[in-house]
A and B are shown apart, each in its own frame.
Chain A
């Protein structure tokens, strides 16, 4: 079976499909034991089970087709720890002929549907129960008084009426953008608002030198809370400040909401208490706190309200945004991006919406003030480069990174996603901002203008809805990995965060986000892919050819707030020493992706040159061991050495996408369109360029249509409009259609570049081609030359062979 077909069934790609049983042998594989897991792979046939999964009482693994079941005594044996578990009463009718879907051998993946976002009867019952609230307040009457206060237009309404609250979106807009840019952005935002589901919560933050949070529930006039852009606010401070202006007030409502919804039951009691304490401890006279809680909820401010309630207000507010940069001559505008993000996060934290929320930052320049600043506003200081970073010349880098790391902790604690839409001709400081975006699973788009198609498509794509009208977004996910005893979990690379939950199967060796068997993801899409790394126990008792199991339990929330759990159980075999199965089970593509991630992971700590050296070394080792299989070509993955922010973006995407897409990033595809027939893939080599063909180049981030010089000339002459040259017209159209298709499916939307041979835009293509012809090699007429010091693939492989033999 093809590896990718297997992926279609399991949603997994294994670098090695057969695992050796001894540790030294594993080490000699060079490429680590790893699995690229795409948790939400769209399956054609995915059973959705409307009940809770059965967990092993010992290892918490979910009942799966590999479990042995004793239908008579109604007992099942965990396939991981061999624990015997009785079936609960609801499984009373189980028998050989009546088995639940999760036991069907064909269903290696099933999904459990745990609840919906709509208020259920059970929830409303809970609301009245004082016990649920007793931890919160001394008596239930105070609760009722709160709700009484919030009579009109307050946040409670939406909870009270029983409308499910949707995901929350806080739009963070850069007020320093130029008026034109801002207009385009506002247009898009307004459009976005109209497309949001009614129950989605929205908030609006605008920043320049100050950070303004709009109160969307206030109807008398436009009302904003202003935070100073230079002051770092601790989370407590944000909570505190926001409590005084009522930012937190929704907290109260949310608790009640949570109660109604049932599934957050335990949080209701626990969460608010520490929060309250932290407020009191950190600031202010505690005695007042109690008072202000009442006060707050009554005067309810709506910094975060359902679209249905504040549509008019937020539209007005968005329209009210105007370009307000305070620019001194010779200075960059003052942007307090860091504080703005912090405040937006605080807003969501305050509301305790762990149910899925995004902070969407739209900016058009680097942060120049306050925590998280990237560069001094004085233009005489230029923005840092990679080299500066490594040499320690980037004075703000360290503190900013530290700041953003803290942000990312907060994001992850509250399951908030940070998205960054940067449209600027200048750099915006994505290197620093990358961390929270990455760890929260957020989306990053770097473009040149908010007026660009690219931006519009990206944004609209994010808010696509499925057939039921739900946003195609998933929130608050966690992935738990359960393994057979001999398999140890090292870590994961991808848009996830370790929650440091250890058990027996967690290895001491850490790769990436490690030290845990559960990871948290702010969000995920159907394409999100995580690389998990494993190793095997020192004392290996497993018998070759016996099976081992790995189970992935992915819990996530749909945009309609329904909670789901997808369980994938996979089995592979141990193999003995030097078994040929090892080599035959090697998935070159998966390995390349994994290595790419590892390389990036290293690159974050080391100089690019070191990483390349490491890659080369690894490759040599690998080649010397599996000489026959050295088809892989990590070298074509070139770490770009230009700007940190772009790099960050690329790395981030590479870290997230699945094997196929990663490969495109690592090794782009190149198709040739000519009169000679249907498009054919051609070698990614400069030799492929020729004057009479059109090339379609896809590097994931860029899609380049490259017209050979003759074609370009013909086009200029207008042959395509000449009916007698119908075929030429078709030739021109074909790559464009294909390109559009590529572009449509992908997020972030790639930049589509159309260029003619020898034009400046052609550099996008040339940069990625194998330099078989350089200024150093013999020059053939009519072909392209690439000026580079990089070696060509051929030279590389020759070297590789030599070294491998030596090795």
Chain B
């Protein structure tokens, strides 16, 4: 039983020393008190922090570099030039608001929300505020929360938000190539992220945010929200969904809120997760549309609901659940006002989140929002999110809810720059304290008894002796007196220095092996040159030091290695012709310390494109090349970065153009179509497992213009903890920058090697399955040749026993890994959640983003194994079953004509619909696109899941006009994905974390075109687009927006210009998921469909 921590059977990881990691990830600063996370990197000596070094890369032109972990979400967009350019959202700005300490006042001072709010709310709110004073409610607005911890840091750093400094240099240089992008991000420097108005308005909103005091019954109102009674038919009722929002008060977004119709009572702080835009979570701004909003209330205590609802399992008197209902007339959708249906809203405000409060787990803010976490015992939701923030005591309860219980684990997730770094704990030779039975790691939920002499494991319940040198007396509260000084006893996430027993060998060096396709196609499309140039620039971003080793090889129908260690100036190319049974030419000298071969490498990379410029070999021996490179790396393990441009046509693991086959027998093949999404055979899988065994992680950069059978190829990255990057159709002009930035982020982002991960659960729950990009050799552990901050693993759970109501159920993810600097670490994140017997609690504490992410990932896993229709039905059924359960057991009895949605999950139908229309579940997509989609989704972090299916769309042509609003956020309010919001004279930007489409309507004003793209008519738009920055406000703003998005998404985005009437336009409209399409329902239709299904189940 290898425990993650324990000595591992096979490959063993080695070990290292402590600080490295910290340096690596900026957030981990050990002991560096003063350096607040913010901008921490900036302070560090350049070398130490990987991220810190950004300068070189950035050279102006390339927007690319993603800033290292600096930002919570994304590294800074490379593009940002100046440091000054901090995105508005950034923390720093924020602080400006209330000075530290001021926090309490805000609450008090703020006037209650405008009358709009039902009195109850205010009432409730108020008390908390005052009373709550002490608590910096987790939900409170940042300013408020900023209180102690956050504020100071921020202030100190001033506007420099993390990362920025790093970019600084780059900025300066900016100019050349991608000038536009970088161009100046007009960053409102210093400006508080939150618009002033917010603050002012804030007061009103705050009450909402404040958690209603538990217990306060009044709140009940909330539930009402949902119920819009009347069917849509009545206009007046239009607002149905929305509860009257207290909107105005809230941040800017709130303002958009429709005035709450009086009719619908608005429930104040609803326990439910949902909250209106105003809510700190900010996730939904229901802009123009009217929606009701609810404030998020702390889950557990829900204020009473206004209406009584019968709730399953709820004791009488329980507060009603928040929900949203709309009446859908059976008669017809025509009466539905699309503007009233639930929609995603975004908020630019930053949320402060304490993971535990009053010794209670705090439900996390939405994954898509910007938040700053204070680890008060539970790990940050960045590391672990659970689909439901209360754990059902019994399996029956869970199955009744139809929801699934799963964790999304992202062990190395990028922290927000303003968060405290993870503390590193060194237990010396003996290693971390662990339960001797289940090997769970010491954590804040282990209970010390017997004067501290013994402790009870919160996982298995076993009682252990406290190691003598770890002994400490208990205080009056039953806690160890030193609990607050010991990170492992007061923090949800800590990192332990691994002792010898966690190493089977010395920690491996950081090996980067680049493998480049130089077959005819790759050369001619410029893919080879782009790859070489990207690598050449990235070399300087690789970690410094003697532990960094590099190797390079090229391949067409043969494999060409290069001896990098030579006295002679001339490189030596070593060709391996046998691609059936490959080998590697030299045992040494193919992989060399970076410091020893930097120059050679540069010369070589420069000459590769010319060396092969006349190459007429069209064949590609991908499998053999990868295998050969693997053989070269076998001794150490490491990262293998492969640049591939064509379908591997020769040698071991060669593939055939199955897509063509698929097309030719469409009639016969429809049933078998999904087979094209499976790997063609086991060859590559077998290879990949071997790679994983030797700690080789393969990342695949596919720069192609043809079908390459990603379904087969992707097995390699997937099994080895790598990922696929897909540039299709590859354009040397417009994709080179993205390639570079992707590569740069790939090597620079916080990451670890030779990792093993295991999740432990309290008794009663156990892990059922792991899913993601890794290799699994034994059931309990996940082997990760490499893991980085962008990789998420889905862990589905199951009951094996009943849990006690009132107890807590804990989950612990332990990741043993080696940092790029050769230290062996164990990162341990622990999440402890309350157990409940009440169904309503489950719905109230459901985490929409996480739930949907699980649905999405499961669908992706299912796609290759069955007919598509089945997968689509499953997705819809999952949605229906949940809603049905809610409707049946939790909602008040009401007209069957009403569709009642739990507040927390009210967007589930929209997302599910979007999922059905996504690349992966569409029938009309190219096979490769679908394969890529599936592969992309597999390790996708929760915050990126929603935008993937429901991209963000904003209007660009109006940027000028919306100047005011811009002040508070670079990115304007997003628009629902419906073509009715697209006007012919507008320009729209749509992004999903991967691609960024800019749609230009047919009758856009010429001067706008000129300003943005330097063209005078739509006809001049070319296929290959590079965003440039021109000297005008509009263009600068567009660039700023793009850069901000890049930063948020940790991705450079593929930019594409679309125009009406051609295929690019069609593609753009295919993202309008709310529209009716030939093969899919419109949003409204879909709601009706769901509603009917529920109804039929009810009867």
- From B13-21, B238-246, B613-621, B924-932, the one touching the partner chain is B613-621
Asked whether A295 lies within 8 Å of B616 as measured between CB atoms, the reply is yes
CB 8 Å contact bits of A84-122 with B (1 = contact, 0 = none):
000000000000000000000000000000000000000
Asked whether A225 lies within 8 Å of B611 as measured between CB atoms, the reply is no
Minimum C-beta distance from A123 to chain B (A): 28
Given contacts A220-B610, A228-B583, A320-B572, contact A244 B577 (CB under 8 A): yes
Contact of B558 among A212, A222, A228, A244 (CB under 8 A): A244
Asked whether B578 lies within 8 Å of A241 as measured between CB atoms, the reply is yes
Asked whether A223 lies within 8 Å of B617 as measured between CB atoms, the reply is no
Contact of B617 among A220, A299, A316, A320 (CB under 8 A): A299
CB 8 Å contact bits of B561-601 with A (1 = contact, 0 = none):
10000001011111111111101011100000000000000
Q: In this assembly, does B650 line the interface, its C-beta being within 8 Å of a C-beta of chain A?
A: yes
Q: In this assembly, does A511 line the interface, its C-beta being within 8 Å of a C-beta of chain B?
A: no
- Find residues 214-244 in chain A having any chain B CB closer than 8 Å to their own CB: 215, 218, 220-228, 231, 233, 237, 241-242, 244
Q: In this assembly, does B340 line the interface, its C-beta being within 8 Å of a C-beta of chain A?
A: no
Asked whether A295 lies within 8 Å of B618 as measured between CB atoms, the reply is yes
Q: In this assembly, does A210 line the interface, its C-beta being within 8 Å of a C-beta of chain B?
A: yes
Cβ-closest chain B residue relative to A223: B573
Given contacts A291-B618, A292-B557, contact A226 B581 (CB under 8 A): no
Cβ-closest chain A residue relative to B583: A228
CB 8 Å contact bits of A558-574 with B (1 = contact, 0 = none):
00000000000000000
Cβ-closest chain B residue relative to A301: B575
Q: In this assembly, does A6 line the interface, its C-beta being within 8 Å of a C-beta of chain B?
A: no
Given contacts A149-B616, A294-B616, A295-B618, contact A226 B574 (CB under 8 A): yes
CB 8 Å contact bits of A261-291 with B (1 = contact, 0 = none):
0000000000000000000000111001001
Q: In this assembly, does B994 line the interface, its C-beta being within 8 Å of a C-beta of chain A?
A: no
Q: In this assembly, does B345 line the interface, its C-beta being within 8 Å of a C-beta of chain A?
A: no
Given contacts A244-B557, A295-B520, contact A221 B616 (CB under 8 A): no
Asked whether B650 lies within 8 Å of A241 as measured between CB atoms, the reply is no
Contact of B572 among A221, A228, A292, A298 (CB under 8 A): A221
Which residues from chain A contact B616 at a C-beta distance below 8 Å? 149, 294-296, 298-299
Which residues from chain A contact B573 at a C-beta distance below 8 Å? 218, 221-224
Given contacts A221-B611, A291-B618, contact A326 B557 (CB under 8 A): no
CA distance in complex: A228, B558 (Å): 14
Q: In this assembly, does B32 line the interface, its C-beta being within 8 Å of a C-beta of chain A?
A: no
Q: In this assembly, does A245 line the interface, its C-beta being within 8 Å of a C-beta of chain B?
A: yes
Which residues from chain A contact B604 at a C-beta distance below 8 Å? 221
- Find residues 283-322 in chain A having any chain B CB closer than 8 Å to their own CB: 283-285, 288, 291-292, 294-296, 298-299, 316, 320
Which residues from chain A contact B614 at a C-beta distance below 8 Å? 298-299
Q: In this assembly, does B649 line the interface, its C-beta being within 8 Å of a C-beta of chain A?
A: yes
CA distance in complex: A221, B572 (Å): 6
Which residues from chain B contact A226 at a C-beta distance below 8 Å? 561, 574-577, 583, 585
Minimum C-beta distance from A241 to chain B (A): 4
Asked whether A326 lies within 8 Å of B587 as measured between CB atoms, the reply is yes
Cβ-closest chain A residue relative to B619: A288
Contact of A228 among B557, B560, B578, B650 (CB under 8 A): B578
Which residues from chain B contact A299 at a C-beta distance below 8 Å? 614-617
Contact of B577 among A218, A245, A320 (CB under 8 A): A245
Asked whether B575 lies within 8 Å of A245 as measured between CB atoms, the reply is yes
Q: Classify the interface of chain A: helix, strand, loop or mixed.
A: mixed
Q: In this assembly, does B607 line the interface, its C-beta being within 8 Å of a C-beta of chain A?
A: yes
Which residues from chain B contact A227 at a C-beta distance below 8 Å? 577-578
Contact of B570 among A221, A242, A298, A326 (CB under 8 A): A221
Minimum C-beta distance from A342 to chain B (A): 13
Asked whether B617 lies within 8 Å of A295 as measured between CB atoms, the reply is yes
* Interface residues on chain B, number (Cβ under 8 Å): 34
Asked whether B650 lies within 8 Å of A231 as measured between CB atoms, the reply is no
Cβ-closest chain B residue relative to A230: B583
Contact of A241 among B577, B587, B607 (CB under 8 A): B577
For B561, B568, B573, which residue has the most chain A Cβ atoms within 10 angstroms? B573
Given contacts A221-B572, A226-B574, A228-B578, contact A284 B618 (CB under 8 A): no
Contact of A284 among B570, B607, B650 (CB under 8 A): B650
Asked whether B570 lies within 8 Å of A210 as measured between CB atoms, the reply is no
CB 8 Å contact bits of B617-628 with A (1 = contact, 0 = none):
111000000000
Which residues from chain B contact A149 at a C-beta distance below 8 Å? 616
Which residues from chain A contact B611 at a C-beta distance below 8 Å? 218, 220-221
CA distance in complex: A226, B607 (Å): 21
CA distance in complex: A242, B649 (Å): 18
Asked whether A222 lies within 8 Å of B607 as measured between CB atoms, the reply is no
Which residues from chain B contact A294 at a C-beta distance below 8 Å? 616
Asked whether B574 lies within 8 Å of A242 as measured between CB atoms, the reply is no
CA distance in complex: A225, B572 (Å): 11
Minimum C-beta distance from B524 to chain A (A): 13
Cβ-closest chain B residue relative to A225: B575
Minimum C-beta distance from B618 to chain A (A): 6
- Find residues 186-231 in chain A having any chain B CB closer than 8 Å to their own CB: 210, 212, 215, 218, 220-228, 231
CB 8 Å contact bits of B434-462 with A (1 = contact, 0 = none):
00000000000000000000000000000
Which residues from chain B contact A222 at a C-beta distance below 8 Å? 568, 570-573
Minimum C-beta distance from A99 to chain B (A): 59
Cβ-closest chain A residue relative to B603: A221
Which residues from chain A contact B615 at a C-beta distance below 8 Å? 295, 299
- Find residues 197-231 in chain B having any chain A CB closer than 8 Å to their own CB: none
Which residues from chain B contact A245 at a C-beta distance below 8 Å? 558, 575, 577
Which residues from chain A contact B617 at a C-beta distance below 8 Å? 244, 292, 295-296, 299
CA distance in complex: A223, B607 (Å): 13
Asked whether A320 lies within 8 Å of B568 as measured between CB atoms, the reply is yes
Minimum C-beta distance from B922 to chain A (A): 33
CB 8 Å contact bits of A320-331 with B (1 = contact, 0 = none):
100000100000
Which residues from chain B contact A233 at a C-beta distance below 8 Å? 578
CA distance in complex: A233, B581 (Å): 11
Asked whether B574 lies within 8 Å of A212 as measured between CB atoms, the reply is yes
CB 8 Å contact bits of B509-546 with A (1 = contact, 0 = none):
00000000000100000000000000000000000000
Minimum C-beta distance from A571 to chain B (A): 56
Which residues from chain B contact A295 at a C-beta distance below 8 Å? 520, 615-618
CA distance in complex: A285, B619 (Å): 11
Cβ-closest chain B residue relative to A295: B616
Minimum C-beta distance from B84 to chain A (A): 45
Which residues from chain B contact A292 at a C-beta distance below 8 Å? 557, 617-619
Asked whether B583 lies within 8 Å of A224 as measured between CB atoms, the reply is no
Cβ-closest chain A residue relative to B569: A221
Minimum C-beta distance from A304 to chain B (A): 16
Asked whether A221 lies within 8 Å of B571 as measured between CB atoms, the reply is yes
Cβ-closest chain A residue relative to B571: A221
Minimum C-beta distance from B1067 to chain A (A): 33
Asked whether B570 lies within 8 Å of A288 as measured between CB atoms, the reply is no
Which residues from chain A contact B575 at a C-beta distance below 8 Å? 215, 223-226, 245
Asked whether A225 lies within 8 Å of B607 as measured between CB atoms, the reply is no
Minimum C-beta distance from A280 to chain B (A): 13
Give the B-binding residues of A (Cβ under 8 A). 149, 210, 212, 215, 218, 220-228, 231, 233, 237, 241-242, 244-245, 283-285, 288, 291-292, 294-296, 298-299, 316, 320, 326
Give the A-binding residues of B (Cβ under 8 A). 520, 557-558, 560-561, 568, 570-581, 583, 585-587, 604, 607, 610-611, 614-619, 649-650
Listed from nearest, the 7 A-B pairs whose CB atoms lie closest are A295-B616, A241-B577, A226-B585, A225-B575, A223-B573, A220-B611, A228-B583
A-B contact pairs, 29 of them (CB 8 A): A210-B586, A218-B573, A220-B607, A220-B610, A221-B572, A222-B568, A222-B571, A222-B572, A223-B560, A223-B573, A225-B574, A225-B576, A226-B574, A226-B575, A226-B583, A231-B578, A244-B558, A244-B579, A245-B558, A245-B577, A285-B649, A288-B649, A291-B619, A295-B616, A295-B617, A295-B618, A296-B617, A299-B617, A320-B568
Beyond the given pairs A225-B577, A295-B616, 10 more chain A to chain B contacts, judged by CB atoms under 8 angstroms and listed by A's residue number, are: A224-B572, A226-B575, A226-B577, A228-B581, A231-B578, A231-B581, A231-B583, A291-B618, A292-B619, A298-B614
